[in-house]
Amino acid sequence: MRTNTGPATAPDDHLASLRAGLEADVRPLGDRYTDDHLPLDRLPEIVKTLRGHGYPMADGAPDEVAGALASEELARVFPSLEGCLMVSYACARYIAAAGPPGLRERAVPGLLDGRKVGCLASTEPDHGSNNAAMETRAVPRGDEYVVNGCKRWISNGDISDYAIVLCRVVAENGQEEIRPVIVERERSPYRTRDLPKLGLTAFVTSEMVFEDCRVPRENCLGPAGSFKNMQLVFRTLQWARCRMAVVSLGIARAALEASVAYARRRRQFGRLIGEFQLIQDKIYTMAAEIDASRLLIHRALTSIQEDRRSDREASMAKAYATEMAVRVTSDAIQVHGANGLSPDYPLERYFRDARALTIAEGTTEIHKLVVARSVLGLSAFQ
């Protein structure tokens, strides 16, 4: 966000208008569904409201940075909603780029307007970041693949209509390779259940079970296209990690803004606490880390937009921004003192929401190893 005092530019005006609309129409939803699931039947209406305020859907942002700035504003008032939409749009991006024509026509419009929900299913009960050990299998049978396996901790899983499922695909010659399979729930049913968690309660996280799930063969590209298709999967995951970092950024901004307002009105020892040096030190650190995270995120998204290899940039942005949000929300609680622990204030919710994001879309530790491998040229992975 720009903080200069010169004349506002068109992007600043747009973000100011978006911010005002979100404050009026979306923040009440964020407060209402703090620890409850957002009713799915309201999602199309909410998406329509967002569009009306200038929030760009996955097909509407002029560039990745503009989309991230808008997403930051939404995450500031309702991070669970931004998380839900972000994952659904990631699914839409993949299907639009790689899905068969009929599926693209059925799926993408609904995923963009909120009538349908998508997810990316990789993590398994016994295998988190270790995709090489994945057990979910897709076996050819006539004109279909039959998928069997279990995925866990999948964002949007319980409410999903479409799932991009990473599977160990068995070829006709018996060889296996990890590939994505697009599963349409209405035509290829799968079972799901919600998994409660510490924060971001309205952002559903789930277990998904595939039992003899029959998927059209065209929903899994053959060996000739698998390398290119996996590159697209990795690019989609990198984008999703950056946008998950944006959710953290929005939460941190909300915590900083609450802390600034509180420090300007709370008095102790006859002075505003904002005049105390240790409070000012916390405000500085919070503001600097938020700006640093934003720059890392925008760098990574620009790299993705320019179709460059971006695993290092995406992992650095995701790891730094999510851990930053934990530090900032923790300091915000400290600024508020005992009030920071009270549910009458939003700080404890911000902290819980931020803490959950250090796990989602790859743990901090995994992303550190990705970055260090790029820097050192040595891998910690066997």
Tens of pLDDT, residue by residue over 307-325, are: 999 999 999 999 999 999 9
Q: What percent of the chain has pLDDT over 70?
A: 93
DSSP bridge partners of 168: 137, 178
Q: Which residue has the tokens 């600097």?
A: 288
Which of 207, 225, 243 is the endpoint of a domain?
225
Which of 113, 138, 169 lies at the terminal end of a domain, its last residue? 113
Residue 205 lies in a domain: yes
**Span 10-50, pLDDT tens digits:** 568 889 999 999 999 999 999 998 888 888 899 999 999 99
Residue 360 has pLDDT above 70, yes or no: yes
Select from 113, 131, 161 the last residue of a domain.
113
Say which range, 112-116, 132-136, 355-359, has the weakest mean pLDDT.
132-136
Is position 1 within any domain? no
Residue 44 belongs to a domain: yes
Tell how many helices (H) and how many strands (E) occur in the chain: 11, 9
Q: So what's the pLDDT on residue 329? A: 98
Residue 257 annotated to the active site? no
- Residue with the bigger pLDDT between 232 and 123: it is 123
pLDDT exceeds cutoff 60 at 3: no
Beta-bridge mates of residue 194: 206
- pLDDT at residue 224 in the model: 45
Burial 133-162 (b: 16+ CB within 10 A, else e): ebebbbbeeeebbbbebbbbbbbbbbbbbb
**CA distance between the termini of the chain:** 41
Q: What is the distance between the alpha carbons of residues 150 and 136, in angstroms, rounded to a whole number?
A: 6
Given the residues 64, 82, 313, 361, select the one marked as catalytic.
361
Work out the number of other CB atoms within 10 angstroms of the CB of residue 238: 24
218 and 314 part of one domain: no
Query: Are 204 and 242 in the same domain?
Result: no
User: Considering the domain boundaries, does residue 5 fall inside one?
Assistant: no
Pick 59 or 292 by higher pLDDT.
Answer: 292
220 shares a domain with 234: no
In a domain, 188, yes or no: yes
pLDDT, average across residues 42-61? 85
The percentage of residues in the chain with a pLDDT greater than 90, rounded to a whole number, is 82
Asked if 174 and 202 sit in the same domain, the reply is yes
Whether 367 and 275 have beta carbons less than 8 Å apart is answered as no
- φ/ψ of 222, rounded to 5, equals -75, 175
User: Within this chain, do residues 233 and 175 fall inside the same structural domain, yes or no?
Assistant: no
Q: Which of 37-41, 129-133, 277-281 is predicted least confidently?
A: 129-133
Beta strand spans in 242-355 (E) = 267-268, 271-272
Using 50, 70 and 90 to split pLDDT, how confident is the model at 4?
very low
CATH number at residue 362: 1.20.140.10
CB 281 within 8 A of CB 355: no
Q: Using N-to-C axis directions, what is the helix angle for 223-265 and 79-98, rounded to 10°?
A: 160
- Residue 107 shares a structural domain with residue 150: no
Task: Please tell me the predicted confidence (pLDDT) of residue 113.
Answer: 93
**Confidence class of residue 59 from pLDDT cuts 50, 70 and 90?**
low
Tell me, yes or no, whether 216 and 183 share the same domain.
Answer: yes
Judge whether 356 and 200 are in contact, CB under 8 Å: yes
Give me the mean pLDDT over the 103-118 stretch.
Answer: 95
- By CB neighbour count within 10 A (0-12 exposed, 13-18 middle, 19+ buried), where does 41 fall? exposed
- Over residues 1-8, the mean pLDDT reads 37
**Do 124 and 107 belong to one domain?**
no
Domain encompassing residue 297: 228-376
Quote the DSSP letter at residue 379: -
Whether 223 has a pLDDT exceeding 70, the answer reads: no
Written as one letter, the residue type at 207 is: E
Q: How confident is the model at residue 354 (pLDDT cuts 50, 70, 90)?
A: very high
pLDDT at 6: 38
Q: Are 273 and 337 in contact (CB under 8 A)?
A: no
How many domains would you assign to the chain?
3
Same domain, 236 and 370: yes
Residues in contact with 341: Cβ distance below 8 Å, sequence separation at least 6, in sequence order: 333, 347, 348
2 falls in which pLDDT band (50, 70, 90)? very low
Model confidence, pTM: 0.93
Same domain, 167 and 280: no
Could you tell me if 354 and 329 are in contact, meaning their C-beta atoms sit under 8 angstroms apart? yes
| Domain contains 381 | no
Q: Can you give the CATH number for the domain in which 208 is found?
A: 2.40.110.10
Strand partners, 183: 163
- Looking at the fold, whether 20 and 74 belong to one and the same domain comes out as yes
Residues 283, 372 within the same domain? yes
> Taking a C-beta distance cutoff of 8 angstroms, is the pair 136, 151 a contact?
yes
More reliable by pLDDT, 31 or 230: 31
For 109-178, the three-class secondary structure string (H helix, E strand, C coil) is: HHHHHCCCCEEEECCECCECCCHHHCCCEEEEECCEEEEEEEEEEEECHHHCCEEEEEEEEECCCCCEEE
234-272 pLDDT tens trace: 899 999 999 999 999 999 999 999 999 999 999 999 999
What tens digit of pLDDT does each residue of 281-300 get?
A: 999 999 999 999 999 999 99
pLDDT band at 58 (very low <50, low <70, confident <90, very high): low
Q: Containing H/E element for 48? A: helix 43-52
DSSP H or E stretch at residue 184: strand 176-184
Amino acid 154 reads I
Q: Is residue 331 part of a domain?
A: yes
In angstroms, the CA 206 to CA 111 distance is 19
Residues written for the chain: 382
Give the Cα separation of 15 and 179 in Å (integer). Answer: 39
> Domain containing 92 — which CATH number?
1.10.540.10
Task: Assess if residue 279 is contained within a domain.
Answer: yes
The mean predicted confidence, pLDDT, of the chain is 92
Average pLDDT over residues 67-94: 95
Judge whether residue 377 has pLDDT over 70: yes
